[in-house]
Amino acid sequence: MQKTDLETSLAPIHAMNKKSNFRLVIGNKNYSSWSMRPWLVMKAFGIPFEEIYVPLYQSNSTQKISEYSVSGRVPVLLAEELVVWDSLAICEYLAERFPLQNLWPEAEAARATARSICAEMHSGLNQLREAMPMNIRAFFPGKGRTAGSQADIGRVSEIWEDCLSTYGAHRFLFGDFSIADAYFAPVVMRFKTYGVSLAPALQAYCERVESFPAVQEWVRLAHEEPDRISKFDAM
């Protein structure tokens, strides 16, 4: 009997399950935006993994993370004998490992744009990250509004408006949920925490991201997490 497309696309995952499991080293779900990104990708696309949790901002955090990666930072993906660190590198590795899953958009132009906005998020928008650190449990409306963070909010809005109108058909950034949406999910969390006002179409996008099952699971676990980091909770 001929295999269906779904069975064919899931074959690498089933094969991986028989041999070994991925292990993903992450930090606190409430605070670690970089950990959130590959975690969401793996959950969204049904890639099974074992989670290794290392609380951040403790005296031995770097030492513990260094047991898995010389970078001393999370996230880290352990794949058999391979160690992949950095969230974008992990996402790229997974996209190559499971090409039929379409972790990136399938169309060439959309895929190139998705990679570009993720790279921009990865290397830029620093003022937004510094002024408005991710803190899912908190609510700090109006805080963190520096000139730099406001400029970054404007740039994010521009990116979302362009992608939704050009590729997303007003669903996710490129139609179906992809690495790009996982990459901007921590920004959605920030906008909610700091009460950022958005245009209706962008607010609707944020609500779709928040209601996505993998995001809901991460948020639920963030609220259940016992660890607290005072430097972020006392803003």
- Ranges of CATH 3.40.30.10 domains, the chain: 5-101
For residue 14, CA distances in Å to 86, 98, 111, 132, 210 come to 25, 11, 26, 40, 29
- The mean pLDDT value of the chain amounts to 91
Whole-number Å distance between alpha carbons of 74 and 210: 23
| pLDDT single digits (tens) 48-69 | 999 999 999 999 999 999 999 9
When pLDDT is cut at 50, 70 and 90, the band that residue 231 belongs to is: confident
* Torsion, CA 11, CA 216, CA 129, CA 150, rounded to 10: 120
- At the second CATH level, the architecture of 5-101 is 3-Layer(aba) Sandwich (3.40)
Q: Which class does domain 108-224 fall in?
A: mainly alpha
Whole-model pTM above 0.85? yes
**79 strand-pairing partners:** 82
Q: Once rounded to an integer, what is the mean pLDDT over residues 78-101?
A: 96
Across the beta sheet with 22-26, the strand order is: 49-53, 22-26, 76-79, 82-85
| pLDDT single digits (tens) 103-114 | 999 999 999 999
Inform me whether the pLDDT recorded for 148 exceeds 80: yes
Which residues, 6 or more positions from 129, have their beta carbon under 8 angstroms from its beta carbon? 33
Q: Once rounded to an integer, what is the mean pLDDT over residues 33-57?
A: 97
